[in-house]
Structure formats: C-alpha cells, structure tokens
C-alpha cells in the first residue's frame, strides 16, 4: 500500500510498510537508553553520597563502602520488586 505524504510542501509517495515497521517497534530506542540512564543515575547517586559521607566522617574507605552499600541495596530491592511483579504478586507492606 502506498500513500501521499507532505514534506516541505513537496508531495511524495511513502511506503506504509516502513511506517508500520517503526510503529511495531516503538520501544527499541528507549530500551537501549535504560542502561545508560541507569548508569548515570548510579554514578550521580554514588558521587553525592560519597561526598556527603566523606565530609561528615572524614574516612575515605568507610565513605566508599557506605556509599556503595546504599546503591547496591537499591539495586537489590529493585530486582526483588521486579521478581514479585513477574510472579504476579503484589508488594504490599503489612501493617500492624
């Protein structure tokens, strides 16, 4: 199937198969950006936590360990939540 499309007031034929292919895979580009965005967020988070803890404690090794611990726990809890979601279970907190 073919259709007319306007591009700078110049009418041309556009193949519908190309537009259907793009519409069939709309998440390809964002999914490829997720690791880059996640890595950037982890870097910023680690840098901020390390700077703050180093300013308070004035101990380099302890600051690195504590900053890494907070980011690693965030990753673990995210993976646990994804596992619950894939298993079809909710992550409701129990209330006393």
What are the domain boundaries of the chain? 2-86
Residue 1's pLDDT is 41
**Residue 3 pLDDT > 80, yes or no?**
no
- Please state, in angstroms and rounded to a whole number, the distance separating the CA atoms of residues 11 and 30: 31
Query: Which residue reads 């007319």 in tokens?
Result: 4
Q: Write the CB contacts of 66 (distance below 8 Å, at least 6 apart in sequence).
A: 49, 53
Residue 16's pLDDT is 46
At 35-90, the pLDDT tens digits run 898 889 989 999 999 999 999 989 989 999 999 998 999 899 989 988 988 888 87
Residue 7's pLDDT is 47
At 21-50, the pLDDT tens digits run 555 566 677 778 888 988 899 899 999 999
């Amino acid at each position: 199937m073919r259709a007319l499309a306007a591009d700078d007031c110049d009418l041309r034929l556009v193949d519908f198969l190309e537009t259907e292919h793009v519409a069939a895979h709309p998440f390809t580009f964002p999914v490829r950006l997720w690791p880059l965005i996640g890595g950037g967020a982890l870097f910023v988070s680690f840098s901020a936590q390390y700077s703050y803890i180093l300013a308070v404690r004035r101990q380099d090794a302890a600051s690195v360990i504590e900053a890494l611990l907070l980011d690693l726990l965030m990753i673990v809890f995210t993976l646990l939540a994804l596992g619950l979601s894939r298993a079809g279970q909710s992550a409701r907190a129990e209330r006393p």
